[in-house]
Amino acid sequence: MLEFTSLKVSASESADLATQLTSMSAQGWQVVNIVSASDDVVAYLSRDVSVTATVPTPVQPTPVSDNVGWAATADAPPSPGTFISPTPSSASGSIPVTTQSAVPSVPADWYKDPAGRYEYRYWDGSKWTDNVSRAGVTYKDPPTK
């Protein structure tokens, strides 16, 4: 049996969502989907629930050790739920550098096509694939960069 919940933050506070998702991951929650709606970002989560009458033992959070950021690759487009926060630039006018926040991994599944060309695109757990879908019909289309 599954239990479901959701987290909602404003788009300007997306780094806060990453922190909350990391905490929820330590409690056994898995991301089902992350949706951007208007000025909000909503994450839907699920976890297995025991059907026995015993009282569950509290789960202690464990630190995340993903130093490079979730699903980070040199040439992959942003993955579902990847949040990039700018680093302040110096007064010398240099270009700001971006860093990725560590968040729990998103399971392989169909998600809204980030390029917007199709209704859904398949996320294999580490990168976008060329499998796309529109109105229930699947196609092959290479992801854009």
Q: Give the tens place of pLDDT for each residue, 63-78.
A: 655 455 444 444 555 5
> Stretch 1-15: mean pLDDT, rounded?
79
Number of residues in the chain:
145
Owning domain of residue 21 = 1-49
Kindly state the DSSP code that residue 145 receives in the 8-state scheme. -
Looking at every residue in the chain, the average pLDDT score rounds to 73
H/E/C letters for each residue in 9-51?
EEHHHHHHHHHHHHHHHHCCCEEEEEEEECCEEEEEEEEECCC
Is residue 94 domain-resident? no
pLDDT at residue 106 tops 70: yes
Domain count, the chain: 2
Phi, psi (5° rounding) for residue 141?
-150, 120
Q: Is the pLDDT of residue 103 over 50?
A: yes
Has residue 110 got a pLDDT over 60?
A: yes
**The last residue of a domain, from among 11, 29, 49:** 49
Q: Quick one: average pLDDT of 68-90?
A: 51
Q: Is residue 88 part of a domain?
A: no
pTM strictly above 0.75: no
